Amino acid sequence: MRSALNALTDELRRLKNTGVKTVAVSDEAVAALRRVVTARAAGGQRPRRAVAPAASKPVSSPAQVRPSVAIVRDPLPAATLPAAPVVALPEGDKAARWAALRELVLNDATCRANVRAGKKVVLGVGSLDAKIMFVGEAPGAEEEIQGEPFVGPAGQLLTKMIQGMGLKRGEVYIGNIMNWRPQMPAAAGVEQVGNRPPTEQEMRYCLPYLRAQIDVVNPEMIVALGATAAQGLLGFGSFKALGDIRGAWREFAGKPLMVTYHPSYILRSMSNRSKRMIWEDLLKVMARAGLPISEKQRGYFLER
């Protein structure tokens, strides 16, 4: 175990010495490494299961985790995107307007040019009468395959959070700032591993499509998931740390906006404390939306 960790550290040091500044690590890899480190801190025992997510194959050492670590050797040069689209939807009911928007987005040449062959442009999904709209940052690997936001590990957790609020996934609307998965270099024919946050320019390009979704759905409130989504909505440089702005109502597109942590933060930390922080923000959302809150719900993730 120690030699595998040493090998990983040596490799990272070597990359640093060759000028590599950024190493993107998948959520699964971080979670697996965290379990190894936690187990060692708890008594140096070999963890029984230093594994990636439950359904996937057991990973017995960090050396085996390494393939899911993507090294960003040459971050893509800031691609020059055209001016952000001006979205004009036809008159009509919500369904017709949303269908028109979907056509626009799926056929947007810039969106399509930023999606790798065989992958999909992604638009939000959910109830067009939703009171609550969740907004994440960008599609990931699963999302660009299925063409739907939040269907990977973070999405499954988001679905559980929504259910914890007493709602079904289909009763809310779930979108992202981005309509494509931000690309990272990968050799031809090799799947992109890991994700990078979208650039300000990329978010600025896609934002009109998110605004149009807000316009069509007309939710009573918006929940931004994570710092990147919050930056996209509130503006870059508008806050220092997510902890400074989460949990308090703000405004976006004339709607009350609650900023909270991204579900992948919970996947990384797995602590009741982080779950409780998100939950407290969601309790505020429930209260504002007039959803019933039971005593049991009120006490979720409180340390005993």
The residues that touch ligand URA, with contacts defined as CB under 6 A, are: 136-140, 143, 149-150, 152, 154-155, 176
Work out how close the CB of 77 gets to ligand URA at its nearest, in angstroms, rounded to a whole number: 24
Phi and psi for 115 in degrees, rounded to 5? -105, 135
Dihedral sign for Cα atoms in the order 226, 229, 234, 239:
positive
The tokens of 112 are what? 């399509």
- Nearest partner of 264 among 179, 146, 143, judged by Cα: 143
**Identity of the residue, 62 or 140, whose beta carbon is nearer to ligand URA in the bound complex:** 140
Work out how close the CB of 142 gets to ligand URA at its nearest, in angstroms, rounded to a whole number: 8
Are 207 and 232 in contact by the 8 Å Cβ rule? The answer is yes
What is the H or E stretch that residue 257 is in? strand 255-260
Report the DSSP beta bridge partners of residue 249.
258
CA 104 distance to own-chain centroid = 23
The tokens of 18 are what? 């060759």
**Identity of the residue, 150 or 279, whose beta carbon is nearer to ligand URA in the bound complex:** 150
Scanning the structure block, which residue is given the tokens 């690997």? Answer: 141
Work out how close the CB of 201 gets to ligand URA at its nearest, in angstroms, rounded to a whole number: 18
Work out how close the CB of 127 gets to ligand URA at its nearest, in angstroms, rounded to a whole number: 17
Phi and psi for 173 in degrees, rounded to 5? -115, 135
**Identity of the residue, 150 or 205, whose beta carbon is nearer to ligand URA in the bound complex:** 150
- Nearest partner of 145 among 184, 116, 102, 106, judged by Cα: 116
**Identity of the residue, 61 or 261, whose beta carbon is nearer to ligand URA in the bound complex:** 261
Rg (CA), the chain: 20
**Identity of the residue, 120 or 275, whose beta carbon is nearer to ligand URA in the bound complex:** 120
**Identity of the residue, 108 or 143, whose beta carbon is nearer to ligand URA in the bound complex:** 143
DSSP structure class, residue 66: G
Work out how close the CB of 173 gets to ligand URA at its nearest, in angstroms, rounded to a whole number: 13
Residue nearest to ligand URA (CB): 136
**Identity of the residue, 15 or 239, whose beta carbon is nearer to ligand URA in the bound complex:** 239
Work out how close the CB of 76 gets to ligand URA at its nearest, in angstroms, rounded to a whole number: 19
CA 131 distance to own-chain centroid = 21
Work out how close the CB of 231 gets to ligand URA at its nearest, in angstroms, rounded to a whole number: 12
Neighbours of 18 (CB within 10 A): 8
**Identity of the residue, 62 or 144, whose beta carbon is nearer to ligand URA in the bound complex:** 144
Q: Is 244 left (phi over 0), alpha (psi -120 to 50) or beta?
A: alpha
Scanning the structure block, which residue is given the tokens 């969106």? Answer: 111
Work out how close the CB of 199 gets to ligand URA at its nearest, in angstroms, rounded to a whole number: 15
* CA 207/CA 178 separation, integer angstroms: 7
